[in-house]
Amino acid sequence: MASRWANPWLLGLLLGIAFLAGCRQLGPVVLGTNRAAYNMAVQRSTNQELLLNLVRLKYREPISFLQITSINSRFGFGIDATAIDNDVGAIDVAGIQYSEVPTLTYTPIEGEEFARRMLLESDMNTFLLLVRGGWSIKRVMRLMVERVGDLYNYPEKETYARFAELVEIWGRLQEREDLAFFYVQGSDREIMDSLDRNDVRIETMLSANEAGYAFEESTDGRLRVKKRTRPFLIMQLVFESQAEADRADKALGLSPTRTILRDGRVIERIRLLDPVEYQGRHVADKEFAPVPIWLRSVGNQLYCASRSVEVPPAHQALVKEYVNLQGQRVESRDFTKDLLDIRFSADEPENAFVRVRYRDLWFFIDDRDWQSKDSFALLLNIFSLQSDQQKEKPVLTIPLF
């Protein structure tokens, strides 16, 4: 019996046409399948890298970060078609070959700018952005804040208990929506009150304006020079009772001006300052009690978070030992594991949110520990906000034809 596919070339042409027509549907399928897979792989890799560096810091070792600057995945398709005659008739045999070759490009995050950003203290704008963005002020303060007034965020310090109490009180206020932040425009300070207009050149006025000074014309036609002040950050606290306000003020060591409402609630407003602003204040603020806040650098935040890493007894000599002012050993992990608990295991843990192999051990965060997962996510946010990120973003290129 003569084959109806006597011409193999014609068979290949028809199959090729059919294949190209099918590729129109194949492209979206490949994209839908692979985009999620690459997304999850990048996230898993990022989590593992941060965990690895926290473990390194626990062992007092240098850290290193890599950034994925590009993801290229090339897909190949081919057709293998033949025609075979038998007693029944012609049987068409066609095979489609599929291949995928991913290419990842890593760039070390390093250099002077990155080192500077790791060592530079976080600013109040970042602090406010996180709290207003929905993060718990308790979590943000325990990770980011080094000191509030004379309260140190270090378990080995005598004032740590007062710091912890203050954070708990502010946290309760935030949960009740009784904690708010807003900016207040400061009053300009007069530097000179009588300056001849003819003595001031335009170039001088422009330079002074850039430096934060303003010129105003007085009624006699002469000029006044004022130093403009930046808006300052106010934290408003609404306490349920005077007793609750007393506990917060005692912990902070201040006596802010109070407004007592008819229902017994108490309103206090404090002015949050960075240490430089606090030292540079010219007059005492009677309306808003000034409270300086020292924020940790990103590097210091990671270092303090590494205290939460558990190590086996055999490794105690490899990690730093903390002592209090009395010379007694302090297990700082006992103060931080409710915030971030990183454990170790000789065997690979099954129920882990993130795990990494290091020094022949597995270090991991339990998937059921939502407190640690939230703190870990906050660290990633802070690192992304303040580390030296490359301008290029990961690009996934999928050529299908």
CA distance 290 to 253: 12
Q: Report pLDDT for 7.
A: 54
Q: Report pLDDT for 58.
A: 94
Count the alpha carbons within 13 Å of 213 in the hemisphere toward its beta carbon.
Answer: 14
Q: Report pLDDT for 84.
A: 54
Distances in whole angstroms, Cα of residue 294 to Cα of each of 27, 39, 58? 53, 37, 23
Of 366, 311, 314, 312, residue with least CA distance to 340 = 366
Q: Are strands 361-366 and 343-345 parallel, antiparallel or unpaired?
A: antiparallel
Q: Report pLDDT for 398.
A: 45
Q: Report pLDDT for 282.
A: 46
Of 330, 328, 332, 348, residue with least CA distance to 340 = 332
H helix runs in 328-369, sequence order: 333-336
pTM flag (> 0.75): no
Burial 183-200 (b: 16+ CB within 10 A, else e): eeeeebeeeeeeeeeeee
Beta carbons within 8 Å of 323's beta carbon, 6+ residues apart: 156, 329, 330
Q: How many helices (H) and strands (E) does the chain have?
A: 11, 18
pLDDT digits (tens, 9 = 90+) for 169-222: 999 999 999 999 988 876 666 666 666 666 666 776 677 666 667 767 776 767
pLDDT digits (tens, 9 = 90+) for 243-252: 999 999 999 9
Q: Report pLDDT for 28.
A: 60
Query: Are 215 and 225 contacting, i.e. CB atoms less than 8 angstroms apart?
Result: yes
Per the structure block, which two tokens stand in for 223? 């000029």
Q: Report pLDDT for 234.
A: 92
Low-confidence ranges of the chain (pLDDT < 70): 1-34, 69-102, 104, 106, 186-201, 204-205, 208-212, 215, 219, 221, 227-230, 277, 279-286, 387-401
CA distance 88 to 85: 8
User: 3-class SS at 335?
Assistant: helix
